[in-house]
Structure 1
């Protein structure tokens, strides 16, 4: 079974010490940290080097390594002023990777939708949107390279990078220096894929597994025409298929739990562990 980690936002409002304590009890060995998250550690200086080092030490004391940073933002925000401000913030987080003890920082590509980065928009499918995305990612990737960091891109079916094939295209066009992808099939599964999940997930792994140093754990749900990615066990994704692919294709990649509340973590981990046990038996 892949070693387990969690997104820091699962514990919103908790101190870093309390997060590390609870996470240790669940057997987590990794955390993906959002540097902006309040953790009662120099919260008035979210991007300071000293704060990063303090938070890192708190987690390492409990045997938890920081596997990556969450720098998620809408890279293609149609509001250019907000886009530029968020890009500068992401650059500050890239500079902090080494202080947190990681090389990885993740972001989604976002959407040109005027009000919601998680909704589809016809402009997302244009050559112009793709070219603009490449320009922005290349700029951030170049900064990452200078800092010995790696920019991780997380695709999403309603964003500009919407398919695993586009993930391959991104890597072929920009190369692998300072750039990689997150293994998150739940983001890519279409409603049609739900009836053919083994083939769909296998294709996702074929496309992006060679570029994926981190995997995510959540679910896929289509309900009344709305696409969401809720916590493990509350959607329509076949976790047995995912566990089998991780075990055979990416066994050494950390698996990071998302979209759960603290009181839901144990149930999510139970589902994950049982899925891996089933995969091993078959």
Structure 2
């Protein structure tokens, strides 16, 4: 029985050409995607803003004919944008994605939670109460749409955002009484705040606390770059600080056949990663 993993569709050649993209996915033995219309079909969707049910159905049928599915529909937007007009626009966009997700063949719409800094550089200003309260207000506007269409809002915590820790994540879920439409994508590397932090400890704690809410895990390797805007830099697995095999095993053990996405591998890095022997059981 084949195990599985996911990749970001926009890490594969074929942007704005769905047929070419599909061929390139299939030839790499990939079956599950994190799919962002804004990244993979930007021209046809005007940067992800204009997505129709016809487009969703077409993408689903094309992929399904090649044994490919969309695991998560990516709608990465700034949910706490300080510009209220801009925030209202992204709320409307996310609501639209929640409606259309089943057309794409998934019920999961994924996003990080935004930033007070439009460049998304690391700032502890995101850790303050006001950005968190803004996030709560935004989520409250999204949940009724998720309930109506039977879809999930999947939030990805990270230190560059108001949902910056597992503790803060717990506060958000408690605020909404663990609403069944509110889910999580856990990237343990994105929760590293100190050079001493351990990604295995972070992932273990996430599953201990939120196993029922986790719908996907993002896996990557990194090097510590404290002077950079994100504190760290993603690298090809095996070339950084992470025991990538162990993370993969932990995710598989916690959620057999769960969505495990190889994250942030642009510019040919994905193809390097796909050559790793540890991924052989997950391909075919």
TM-score when scaled to structure 1? 0.86
Provide Cα deviations, 1:100-136, integer angstroms capped at 9, x if missing partner.
Answer: 11100011111112x32242242x2222322221121
Gaps of 5+ in 1: 278-282
The answer for the alignment partner of 2:253 in structure 1 is 248
Q: 2:138 aligns with which of 133, 136, 139?
A: 136
Q: Distance in 1 between matches of 2:113 and 2:275?
A: 31
- The answer as to whether partners of 2:188 and 2:199 remain within 8 angstroms in 1 is no
Distance 1:276 1:162, change over 3 A: farther
**Structure 2 CA distance for aligned equivalents of residues 256 and 10 of structure 1:** 12
Structure 2: gaps (5+ residues) = none
Deviation for aligned residue 1:40: 8.7
The equivalent residue for 1:51 is 55
Asked whether the equivalents of residues 243 and 276 of structure 1 are also in contact (C-alpha less than 8 Å), the reply is no
Deviates more, 1:207-216 or 1:103-112: 207-216
Partner residue of 2:71? 67
Following superposition, the deviation at residue 187 of structure 1 comes to 0.8
* Range with greater deviation from structure 2 (77-86 or 205-214): 205-214
Which residue is equivalent to 1:96? Answer: 100
Partner Cα separation in structure 2 for residue 144 and residue 25 of structure 1: 35
1:147-162 map, 5 Å? 147-162=149-164
Which residue of 208, 214, 217 corresponds with 1:215?
Answer: 217
* Contact preservation (8 Å) 1:229, 1:235: no
- Alignment match, 1:180: 183
RMSD: 2.5
In structure 2, the CA distance between the partners of 1:42 and 1:54, relative to structure 1 (3 Å rule), is farther
Cα distance per residue 1:33-78 (max 9 Å; x no partner)? 1123454995468311111111111111110011121110111111
Partner of 1:108 in structure 2? Answer: 112
C-alpha separation in 1, matches of 2:172 and 2:233: 23
Look up the match of 1:84: 88
Structure 1 contact 230–259 (Cα < 8 Å) conserved: yes
In structure 2, distance between residues paired with 1:41 and 1:78: 27
Matches within 5 A, 1:14-29: 14-29=16-31
Contact residue 76 and residue 109 of structure 1 kept, 8 A: yes
Contact 1:201 1:241 (8 Å CA) reproduced: no
Note if contact 2:219-2:247 (Cα within 8 Å) is conserved in structure 1. Answer: no
CA contact (8 A) 2:112 2:158 kept: yes
Question: In structure 1, what is the Cα distance between the partners aligned to 2:199 and 2:11?
Answer: 27
Instruction: Report the CA distance shift for 1:55/1:254 in structure 2 as closer, same or farther (over 3 A).
Output: same
Does the aligned pair in 1 maintain the 2:111–2:154 contact within 8 Å? yes
> Partners of 1:79 and 1:51 in 2: how far apart?
30
The structural deviation recorded for 1:229 is 4.8
User: Which residue is equivalent to 1:8?
Assistant: 9
Q: Distance in 2 between matches of 1:262 and 1:8?
A: 13
Normalising by structure 2, we get a TM-score of 0.86
Q: Do the aligned partners of residues 179 and 40 (structure 1) sit closer, same or farther apart at CA in structure 2, a change above 3 Å counting? A: closer
Q: Kindly indicate whether residue 120 of structure 2 is the aligned counterpart of residue 117 of structure 1.
A: yes
Aligned residues: 273
**Secondary structure at 2:59 match in 1:** helix
Superimposed CA distance per residue, residues 210-260 of structure 1 (whole angstroms, 9 cap, x where no aligned partner): 311112122333214322352442542221331231132122211122222
